[in-house]
Amino acid sequence: MRLRCAVLDDFQGVATEVADWSELPVDVVVFREHIRGEDALATALADFDIVVTLRERVPFPGSLISRLPRLKLLVASGMRNSVIDYEAAAQHGVTVCGTASSSAPPVEMTWALILGLARGVVQESNALRRRGPWQSTLGADLHGARLGLLGLGKIGSRVARVGLAFGMRVSAWSRNLTAERAADVGVEPAASKEELLAHSDFVSVHLALGERSRGIVGAPELALMKPTAYLVNTSRAAIVDQDALLAALREGRIAGAGVDVFDVEPLPDGHPMRTAPRLLATPHLGYVSRDNYATYYGQAVEDIAAYLAGSPVRRLP
């Protein structure tokens, strides 16, 4: 009997286009629609030996893994995944492997949101197409403005360098940020999170999600921001209190927000983020690029081939 491989959440239907699966002795089944809920996942994946999952969209807790008796290999895009129960996987004889992931696409997505907010790109484009007003917004200047970064890791530092190229004054804060690290990137270390929020014209979130960062931007932090300031989050939704952000947008306490990550994904119909004012929202496109997908699925094929040969590669955690 040939092995069966499920590829989850291939919304664009490109997994078998950007990588060559033909040499694998497996039957590949692509799921283009998101499967929501453990019961539905257990039913849909019951007959699969291999599952390829996209980023952290589908949790694999022990309770789900125990309901998938045929599962032997789980491949996750990226080399870090917080929603897989690795201990349960090991207990049930499931090997977990990852892939490389480029930091360039989320950097570019961050700047797409910043520029879209600053120049009212969506509003002006829609007005032009619908014969609306000619020039209805007054753009916010980037040159000379202050860009505040929450996090100065691989992605945050690249965002910083683009800001510097625009002539922005760039500062950064995280609990572990040192003056030496800030100097290496060419930015100013903020004295505190509060100082960064209060003095920035654009705030961009680039922290890893953990217990210390969950909800680190809440109602008190948003209240510190200028009414002319913008918040951008391409990292993880839970870092920013979603209810507090919605309230700030509705009440006009900040100029706007650019969001690429949400508490529930895909975003359900009727979710308040779909209709919030002053919000430029995109459906988690940060990692979605042709080259990145070629890496994800190309290395997923490599992971499967290596596993079948008895020498798994890029094992997680």
Which positions are catalytic?
236, 265, 284
CA angle 194, 207, 52 (to 5 degrees): 160
Q: Is 157 exposed, middle or buried (0-12, 13-18, 19+ CB in 10 A)?
A: buried
Q: Which residues of 10-29 are buried (b: 16+ CB within 10 A; e: fewer)?
A: beeebbeebbebeebebebe
Cα–Cα dist 62/83, whole Å: 10
**3 state SS of 74:** strand
The DSSP H or E segment spanning 296 is helix 290-308
Q: What DSSP designation does 6 have? A: E
On whether the CB atoms of residues 170 and 160 are closer than 8 A, the answer is yes
Six token digits for residue 172: 């950064």
Considering only CA atoms, which of 82, 57, 106, 76 is closest in space to residue 264?
Answer: 57
Closest CA to 202 of 246, 170, 173: 170
Nearest partner of 230 among 141, 103, 137, judged by Cα: 141
